[in-house]
Amino acid sequence: MDTVAAAVTHDPPPAAGGRQGRPLIVTEDAELLDDLLRLCAAAGATPEVHHAVPEGRGRWEAAPLVLVGDDAARRVRGAARRRGVVLVGRNQDDSGVWQRAVEIGADHVLMLPDGEQWLVDRIADVAEGVGRPALTVGVIGGRGGAGASTLACALAVTSAREGLRTLLVDADPLGGGLDVLLGGETAEGLRWPAFAASRGRVGGGALEESLPRLHSLRVLSWDRGDCVAVPPQAVRAVLAAARRRGGTVVVDLPRRIDDGVAEVLAQLDMGLLVVPAELRAVAAAGRVASAVGMVLRDLRVAVRGPYTPGLDDREVARLLGLPLAGEVPVESALLRPHGSPAPPGATVRGPLARFCREFWERALMEAGAA
């Protein structure tokens, strides 16, 4: 049995049919029930409430999380032992609570109000479902104008086209906005400044639904206002929520590393450093790689032509001391007819889309083998 400060040591049992069930609350304490309902609402979950073990066949066993009020411990003593049971009380000085927890096979003992945030996180895990986190890839330019934003957009567009849940995150407040590059600057939805006050846990589903939907993917970009920074804790909460949704997350990174960018780097699975094949760009990219490499372990180089005489993609990777992700092709036809901007990688059979498709095939295979 773990204390409230400990992490859950195993996943809650899945609901019947592979779907997430509702958390189960067992208590007759009206005040405690009010608190638990409030915490469930904060986590985006609608619980099932009973005064004792529910009579319906399998309902006790199937619930992904069971919150037993200390007042109800004796009434559930004979229930089948299962994982995911939390005994919830208020009296910090009642040493007998531990014995009652053992009697019902609880994994955790939680005392309110101290354990509220912990419990909200556990309930939110149930509400959202906890599966494989999103494969999260950051793209950063080795120098200005390297084409990092173009590649980030193309990777996201390709991922969405392949049927993956995809979120494109603009982490560069001075980049002009990725929604503009995707032709969706007027699309309805929230931008980064709306999340500046985020603390603790952000609901993944609520985040996804609040963002603009462009080209079958969700985009978190900057607006055209004066806000050019979001607190690091808000960046951490938002990106963590995005990763919990699964699929892929692509982040367009600025070349300067501040506290907010460091929070992003800490959650990346892989980084792509886009480097034009010229000596000055390689020199600049070396400095960027040194800064990024202090936080991100898996950084690879994507080389973009045309090539300076004596340089090729392998030589650029060798000079930087980084693994080669490949050569990023330049796609000239980035405009649809009538002047409507097309997103990078939109041409399914184009070289950029092909590069992105092959990248995802390799990256997802590596992630599956990890």
DSSP secondary structure of 176-223: --HHHHTT-TT-SS--GGGGTT--S---HHHHHHHS-EETTEEEE---
| Tokens encoding 105 | 């096979």
**pTM confidence score:** 0.74
| Residue 5 clears pLDDT 80, i.e. is over it | no
Q: What is the pLDDT of residues 160-187, one digit of tens each?
A: 999 999 999 999 988 888 998 888 888 9
Mean pLDDT along residues 306-311: 89
| 217: CB partners within 8 A, 6+ apart | 156, 157, 159, 160, 166, 167, 168
Strand order, beta sheet including 108-111: 2-3, 108-111, 85-89, 66-69, 24-26, 48-50
Q: What is the pLDDT of residue 305?
A: 87
Mean pLDDT along residues 351-368: 94
pLDDT, mean over the chain: 87
Q: What is the pLDDT of residue 221?
A: 94
Which pLDDT band holds residue 122 (cuts at 50, 70, 90)? confident
Q: What is the pLDDT of residue 197?
A: 83
| Residue 265 clears pLDDT 80, i.e. is over it | yes
Which pLDDT band holds residue 137 (cuts at 50, 70, 90)? very high
Indicate the length of the chain as a whole number: 370
Return the amino acid letter for 140.
I
Look at 7-11, 26-30, 91-95, 248-252 and tell me which has the smallest mean pLDDT.
7-11
Mean pLDDT along residues 116-126: 86
The DSSP bridge partners found for residue 275 are 303
What beta strand segments (E) does the chain contain?
2-3, 24-26, 48-50, 66-69, 85-89, 108-111, 135-141, 166-170, 213-214, 217-220, 248-253, 270-276, 299-304, 324-328
| Residue 357 clears pLDDT 90, i.e. is over it | yes
Return the SS3 of 140: strand
Which pLDDT band holds residue 130 (cuts at 50, 70, 90)? low
Which pLDDT band holds residue 88 (cuts at 50, 70, 90)? very high
Task: Give CA angle at 206 (179, 17), nearest 5°.
Answer: 125
- In percent, the amount of the chain with pLDDT more than 90 equals 63
Higher-pLDDT residue of 111 and 206 is 111
Q: What is the pLDDT of residue 20?
A: 55
In angstroms, the CA 129 to CA 203 distance is: 11
Task: Give CA angle at 78 (72, 79), nearest 5°.
Answer: 85
Q: What is the pLDDT of residue 13?
A: 40
- Taken in order 15, 19, 20, 24, is the CA torsion positive or negative? negative
Domains of the chain: 24-128 (3.40.50.2300), 135-369 (3.40.50.300)
| Residue 331 clears pLDDT 80, i.e. is over it | no
Q: What is the pLDDT of residues 201-225, one digit of tens each?
A: 787 888 899 999 999 999 999 988 8
Q: What is the pLDDT of residues 6-58, one digit of tens each?
A: 322 233 344 333 345 789 999 999 999 999 999 998 888 899 999 999 987 68
| Tokens encoding 112 | 């309110």
Q: What is the pLDDT of residue 7?
A: 27
Q: What is the pLDDT of residue 245?
A: 86
Which pLDDT band holds residue 321 (cuts at 50, 70, 90)? very high
- In percent, the amount of the chain with pLDDT more than 70 equals 90
CB 71 within 8 A of CB 32: yes
